[in-house]
């Protein structure tokens, strides 16, 4: 069983990260700047004009700009879409089923070797 342990730990780690996915923020009447001020997310993904796609850590609004770590700045008017990491039940369930299948397959294969 010890030779399979690193593989199981890797798949467990992948399973845990699958619980969250990037999801578009439904802004509606709320502007991207107002959303950042109200929700105060740790990280966002910004899709802007000119095919810009950038992850921004510690986003904040400074005047008419969205700013973040690493001297990132984009005018709020240029933001096409804003995404945040949120829990995803479907990917969590699918990952759990896949992990269970993998563990059951390894257990059955180990039983055949003996």
**95-107: b (≥16 Cβ within 10 Å) or e:** beeebeebeeeee
- Cα dihedral angle (77, 80, 85, 88), rounded to 10 degrees? 150
Q: Mean pLDDT for each consecutive 10-residue tract of the chain (114 residues)?
A: 65 62 74 84 87 87 90 88 77 68 79 58
What is the assigned CATH class of domain 22-87?
mainly beta
Domain range list for the chain: 1-19+88-114, 22-87
State if pTM tops 0.75.
no
């Amino acid at each position: 069983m010890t030779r399979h342990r690193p593989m199981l730990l890797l798949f467990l780690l992948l399973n845990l990260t699958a619980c969250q996915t990037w999801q578009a923020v439904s802004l509606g009447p709320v502007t991207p700047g107002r959303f950042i001020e109200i929700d105060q997310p740790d990280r966002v993904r910004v899709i802007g004009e000119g095919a810009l796609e950038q992850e921004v850590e510690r986003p904040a609004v400074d005047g008419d700009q969205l700013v973040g770590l690493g001297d990132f700045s984009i005018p709020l008017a240029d933001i096409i879409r804003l995404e945040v990491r949120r829990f995803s039940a479907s990917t969590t369930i699918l990952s759990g089923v896949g992990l269970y299948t993998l563990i059951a397959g390894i257990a059955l294969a180990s039983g055949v070797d003996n």
